[in-house]
Copies of this chain bind each other. A is one copy, B any other.
Amino acid sequence: MRATMHRLVTALLVCGVPSLVLAQAPSTERWVVTTDLWGNALYQGLTWERTGKRLGGELDGDALEGERTGNDVRFVVTDAQHARATYTGKVSGDTLRGTADLPDSNHPNVRVKHAFSARRVPERPAGPPRTHDFKPTTYSNEFSASREPVLTLWAGDTLHTTTLDSGGVDEHGVTQALFGNPQTGPFFIGDARPGDTLVIHLKRLKLNRRFADSLDTVVGRALTPALAAKAADLGKPVRWKLDLERGVASPETPTERLKAFTVPLRPMLGGLAVAPGFGLPAFSTGDTSRFGGNMDFNEVVEGNTVYLPVFQPGALLYLGDGHAAQGDGETSQYALETSMEVELTVDVVHGKAASMPRVESPTHLMVLGQAGSLDDALRAATSGLTQWLEQDYGLTLSESAQVLGSSAQYVVANLAGRSVGVVAKLDKARLATLKPVAK
Contact = CB atoms under 8 A, between A and B. Distances in A.
Interface of A: 1-4, 7-8, 37-40, 104-107, 110, 112, 138-142, 144, 166-169, 173, 175-182, 214-218, 220-232, 234, 236, 238, 240, 249, 251, 255, 257-258, 260-263, 270, 279-286, 294, 296, 321, 325-337, 371-376, 378-380, 382-383, 386, 393-412, 415-420, 422, 430, 433-435
Contacts of A403: 258, 261
Contacts of A234: 397-398, 401
Interface core residue of A139, A280, A372 (most chain B CB under 10 Å): A372
B38 A397 contact: no
A351 to B, nearest CB: 20
A391 to B, nearest CB: 14
Contact of A220 (B142, B224, B402): B224
Contact of A328 (B140, B221, B410): B410
A38 B229 contact: no
A296 to B, nearest CB: 8
Nearest to A395: B257
Nearest to A397: B230
B106 A327 contact: no
B401 A218 contact: yes
Nearest to A251: B402
A382 B227 contact: yes
Contacts of A334: 1, 405
Given A39-B138, A139-B38, A403-B261, A179 B105 contact: yes
Contact of A262 (B216, B218, B332, B433): B433
Contacts of A1: 166, 181, 270, 286, 294, 296, 321, 330, 333-335, 337, 416
Contacts of A251: 402
B179 A7 contact: yes
Contact of A281 (B173, B282, B372, B386): B282
B327 A221 contact: no
A220 to B, nearest CB: 4
Contacts of A400: 218
A8 B177 CA distance: 12
Contact of A332 (B40, B231, B404): B404
Contacts of A394: 257
Contact of A410 (B279, B393, B411): B411
A296 B329 CA distance: 23
B262 A333 contact: no
B333 A382 contact: no
Contact of A106 (B144, B175, B221, B228): B175
Nearest to A369: B224
Give the interface centre of A169, A383, A398, A417 by most chain B CB atoms within 10 Å: A398
B416 A260 contact: no
A386 to B, nearest CB: 7
A333 B99 CA distance: 34
A336 B406 contact: yes
A414 to B, nearest CB: 10
A368 to B, nearest CB: 14
Contact of A225 (B231, B236, B257): B231
Contacts of A335: 1, 405-406
A344 B415 CA distance: 37
A177 B216 contact: no
Contact of A40 (B141, B224, B258, B378): B141
A406 B222 contact: no
A227 B386 contact: yes
B402 A331 contact: no
Contacts of A223: 225, 228, 379, 382-383
A4 B179 contact: yes
Nearest to A176: B38
